[in-house]
Structure 1
């Protein structure tokens, strides 16, 4: 059993991040699903499809849901998913360092992965002076 990862993002973001991640890591140690929300998407209307993606991602130990922008439609949809019964933890501001960091700790339980995700995002931001 393992934690699953669900990327709930605006169109194009989740798919692109997963493609780069897969190219870098080759074999992903955790199951990752992507659910992209259309720009005019209604969270209530999209909930059944997003719920199906959540179930596909669940490896038996819950799902870490990563969203691109807190307060936007994907984030609001993720909040609805968290109330459906599957153990879920949510983290916003998804970026490539965050996703890679989470996938480097596949043995961690769901309750510890949000901190790992946040650290990956923060540590991935480097101010380079020329």
Structure 2
């Protein structure tokens, strides 16, 4: 059993990040599902589809939900998913370094992965004066 990953993002972001991660790693060590929220999407109407994506992502040990922008509709929808019963941890500010970092630690627990995700995001930001 493993932790699953669910990317809940605005349109185009989650799919693109998952595609790049798959290209770089070839085989993803954790199950990754993407749920993209249309810009005019109704969160109430989208909740059943998002819930189905959460269930697909769950590898038996819960789901790490990564969202792109805290406080936006995808993040708010992710908060609702966290109350449905599946063990969930949520992290916002999704980036490629964050996703790759998480995927490099498939043996970690759901409780340990949020810190790894946050470290991946922080360490992925570099100020280059060149």
User: Shorter chain as normaliser: what TM range?
Assistant: over 0.9
The 4+ residue runs of structure 1 with deviation greater than 4 A are none
1:19 corresponds to: 19
Q: TM-score, normalised by structure 2?
A: 0.99
Query: Residue in 2 aligned with 1:76?
Result: 76
In structure 2, the gaps of 5 or more residues are: none
State the partner residue of 1:107. Answer: 107
Post-superposition offset of 1:75: 0.1
Calculate the TM-score normalised by the size of structure 1: 0.99
- Match of 2:90, SS state, is strand
Alignment of 1:1-130 (within 5 A): 1-130=1-130
**Displacement after TM superposition at 1:97 (Å):** 0.1
Q: What do you get for the CA RMSD once the two structures are aligned? A: 0.3
Per-residue CA distance 1:13-70 (angstroms, 9 max, x = gap) = 0000000000000010000000000001111110000000000000000000000000
Pairs aligned (count): 130
SS in structure 1 at match of 2:4: strand
Unaligned segments of structure 1, at least 5 residues: none
